[in-house]
Chain A
Amino acid sequence: MATAAAVVAREIPSPEQASLWSDAWRRLRRNRMALISTIYLVLLVLVALLAIFYTPYRMSAVGIAPTYSGPSQAHLLGADGVGRDVLSRLMIGAQISLIVGVGTQLLVVVVGVTVGLLAGYYRGWLDSVVTFIINVFYGIPDLLVALILVFLLGPSLTNIIIAIVVTRWMDMARMVRGQTLSMREREFIEAARASGAKPVKILFGHILPNALGPIIVQATFGVPAAILFEAFLSFLGVGIQPPTPSWGSMAADGIAALRIAPHIVLAPSIALSITLMAFNFLGDGLRDALDPRSRR
């Protein structure tokens, strides 16, 4: 009997078999902008990984090319004001951007999800406090708070990440809180509670997996925001410190030489814009893929 049933099950391909994730992946592949963006981002990650072992020149090596010289065979993106190779610096800059972007979002997910789950599930005074803090944070200019924080903590990669997490965790917390609030009233949570599941099990075993889609979308949109923060801080000179390049500080260096050597400012500006765009298109695609109802 059992084997017969198995044979039947194997012979009748059921269209209902596709899981949420494979469905989402199928929808994402059909979204052309999201697909192109994914390919670009994979390449960017590869370039950043490559830069750990290899850059065409040392990123801080001064005077290896004539200052302000344009793109040439030896220096594909030319040289900057002190004769450093722009391409090598751009590659290191990609590392910085990705570390900041992905690093902050990993922390934001941890903080935001924990706070959101607890506030949404336990409600009461905890929820009131969390909501109040979130509202206060919404009322102040986050970038400037991050600026002040980095200024107070001192400029380093870790402090930049901390500053961005402190000013950017609210969106995630608010979203997870909303999801939890609506989900805790649903039957499957009631069933879990009735069968004696502990709160930890309910929060992380039942509610969290069901909120994973929106969390991924939110985190994807958070990455370009964080990269933009870092570029902003570095552009003003309070972010990543020389000689380590960041796309923001490279652009700031280049803007003074706009008339004589526009390539210095254009290279990081274009890299930054395309990267932010790719993350935004991917976020759009993921949102449409994971929540088909929101499709335009």
Chain B
Amino acid sequence: MLTRGTLIYIGQRIVLIAFTVLAVSSIVFLGIHRLPGDALFSEHLHGQQYELLLHHYHLDEPLWIQYRDYLTGVVTRGDLGESLVNKGVQITPLVLRELTISAEVGAFALIFTIGLGLVLGVVAAVRQNTWVDYVLTTTSVIGYSMPNFVIATFLLLVFAVWLGNQTDGAFYYQIGGGWTGSIGQIWLPAFALGFPYASIVARLTRASMLEVIRQDYIRTARAKGLKETVIMVRHALRNALIPVTTILGPLVIGIITGSVIIENIFGIPGLGKEFAQSILNRDYAIVIGVFTMYAAMVGVANLGVDLLYVLIDPRIRY
């Protein structure tokens, strides 16, 4: 499976990802530095102190030197610079630590989304044109029409307010709590992040299952006397998965984007919360850093999806 061609393909893609990340990072860097106003406006400093601070961040140098230093920092040391609001805080370690937290919640959301979506999609397809199907297809429109912060609000209302405090305050996150943590720490945020996308996965799975189960080889499998569950899972679902895989790229993007809101609502100290906070605080250095991180994550996720095709469908080769 891992032929030489595949390895070359992966290599090319990684180079491409690196260039995309660099381009995104540069565009945001230059875009932000063109903004009118002062990056240190929140400091209320004047005279020499202000000059010192400008010098500390190298903001007194011409833009192209700043840009050159920034680029060399990113490329050679993976250094994203220093926070403009909290002096002395290095961005790279901060962002990496927050990334592990976001990744934990995101992974749960992803597993939940795909699992629920596949199950509902298969059930709706097998029971096509029965009330089960109608309920599921209608619910899926409702599902992807609800913004994630609305779902989060309802979850908090139900679990934190109406059912008494089931969430340990809900605005508290224990690092490394994992699935053993209270529902407010990981299950509710993961549900809020994943539910809209679970509806989309369910819809896609249903449509693609309906297409597959009309194929001749399914009839052959039935004629052989295989059990219906075996036919559905091993023969139909595996082939129905290929169109569903295409949604995984947008799905990862969706979960990253969603985390910007959901982490704020549930008080999860992850990358998304940092991003939203930095934008409001006008901490440009962190905004650039986190956005660079996002570009890298999306690139890697898209590569992962493309490699997944090979796993699911042996006919696909790169």
Q: Which residues of A contact B (CB under 8 A)?
A: 33, 136, 138-144, 147-148, 151-152, 224, 228, 231-232, 235-238, 248, 251-252, 255, 258-259, 262, 265-266, 269-270, 272-273, 276-277, 279-281, 284, 296
- Are B145's CB and A277's CB within 8 A? yes
> B302 within 8 Å of A by Cβ?
yes
Query: Which segment of B56-64, B216-224, B255-263 sits at the interface?
Result: B255-263
Closest to B133 in A: A296
A interface SS class: helix
In the bound assembly, the distance between CA atoms of A280 and B156 in angstroms comes to: 26
> B122 within 8 Å of A by Cβ?
no
Q: List A contacts of B142 (CB < 8 A).
A: 273, 277
1/0 per position for B259-281, CB-CB distance to A under 8 A?
01100110000000001100110
- Are B160's CB and A141's CB within 8 A? no
- Are A152's CB and B31's CB within 8 A? yes
B256 in complex: contacting residue of A141, A235, A248, A276, CB < 8 Å: A141
Known contacts A140-B298, A148-B287, A237-B280; decide if A228 and B147 are in contact (CB<8 Å). yes
Q: A140-B24, A266-B153, A296-B210 are in contact. List 18 more A-B contacts (CB 8 A).
A: A139-B20, A139-B302, A141-B253, A141-B257, A141-B298, A142-B253, A143-B260, A144-B256, A147-B260, A148-B31, A152-B32, A232-B147, A236-B260, A269-B150, A269-B153, A276-B145, A276-B147, A277-B146
Known contacts A152-B35, A238-B280; decide if A272 and B157 are in contact (CB<8 Å). no
- Are A273's CB and B147's CB within 8 A? yes
Q: List A contacts of B302 (CB < 8 A).
A: 139
Q: Give the one of B261, B298, B299 with max A CB within 10 A.
A: B261
Q: List B contacts of A141 (CB < 8 A).
A: 253, 256-257, 294, 298
> B67 within 8 Å of A by Cβ?
no
In the bound assembly, the distance between CA atoms of A220 and B138 in angstroms comes to: 18
Q: How many A-B residue pairs have CB under 8 A?
A: 107
> B161 within 8 Å of A by Cβ?
yes
In the bound assembly, the distance between CA atoms of A213 and B24 in angstroms comes to: 36
Known contacts A151-B279, A276-B145, A280-B145; decide if A251 and B150 are in contact (CB<8 Å). yes
Q: List A contacts of B260 (CB < 8 A).
A: 143-144, 147, 236
Q: List A contacts of B280 (CB < 8 A).
A: 236-238
- Are A144's CB and B294's CB within 8 A? yes
In the bound assembly, the distance between CA atoms of A141 and B291 in angstroms comes to: 10
Known contacts A141-B257, A152-B31; decide if A273 and B146 are in contact (CB<8 Å). yes
In the bound assembly, the distance between CA atoms of A258 and B20 in angstroms comes to: 41
A272 in complex: contacting residue of B147, B160, B275, CB < 8 Å: B147
In the bound assembly, the distance between CA atoms of A272 and B276 in angstroms comes to: 22
Interface range on chain B (Cβ under 8 Å from partner): 35 or more
B16 to chain A, nearest CB (A): 10
1/0 per position for B73-111, CB-CB distance to A under 8 A?
000000000000000000000000000000000000000
Q: List A contacts of B161 (CB < 8 A).
A: 258-259, 262
> B149 within 8 Å of A by Cβ?
yes
A-B interface, 3 closest residue pairs, ranked by CB to CB distance from nearest: A277-B145, A276-B145, A269-B150
In the bound assembly, the distance between CA atoms of A148 and B260 in angstroms comes to: 13
Q: List B281-307 residues whose CB lies under 8 Å from chain A.
A: 287, 291, 294-295, 298-299, 302
> B144 within 8 Å of A by Cβ?
yes
Known contacts A152-B35, A236-B261, A236-B276; decide if A280 and B150 are in contact (CB<8 Å). no
Q: Which residues of B contact A (CB under 8 A)?
A: 20, 24, 28, 31-32, 34-35, 138, 141-142, 144-147, 149-150, 153-154, 156-157, 160-161, 210, 249, 253, 256-257, 260-261, 264-265, 275-276, 279-280, 287, 291, 294-295, 298-299, 302
Q: List B contacts of A224 (CB < 8 A).
A: 145
- Are B261's CB and A273's CB within 8 A? no
- Are B264's CB and A144's CB within 8 A? no
In the bound assembly, the distance between CA atoms of A142 and B258 in angstroms comes to: 12
Closest to B161 in A: A259
A284 in complex: contacting residue of B141, B150, B295, CB < 8 Å: B141
Known contacts A139-B302, A236-B261; decide if A33 and B153 are in contact (CB<8 Å). no
Known contacts A141-B294, A236-B261; decide if A258 and B156 are in contact (CB<8 Å). yes
B238 to chain A, nearest CB (A): 23
In the bound assembly, the distance between CA atoms of A144 and B154 in angstroms comes to: 24
In the bound assembly, the distance between CA atoms of A12 and B287 in angstroms comes to: 71
- Are A258's CB and B160's CB within 8 A? yes
Closest to A33 in B: B138
B280 to chain A, nearest CB (A): 6
B307 to chain A, nearest CB (A): 16
A137 to chain B, nearest CB (A): 11
In the bound assembly, the distance between CA atoms of A87 and B275 in angstroms comes to: 32
- Are A251's CB and B146's CB within 8 A? no
In the bound assembly, the distance between CA atoms of A4 and B11 in angstroms comes to: 78
- Are B147's CB and A231's CB within 8 A? yes
Closest to B288 in A: A148
In the bound assembly, the distance between CA atoms of A147 and B256 in angstroms comes to: 13
A151 to chain B, nearest CB (A): 6
In the bound assembly, the distance between CA atoms of A279 and B253 in angstroms comes to: 23
In the bound assembly, the distance between CA atoms of A266 and B146 in angstroms comes to: 13
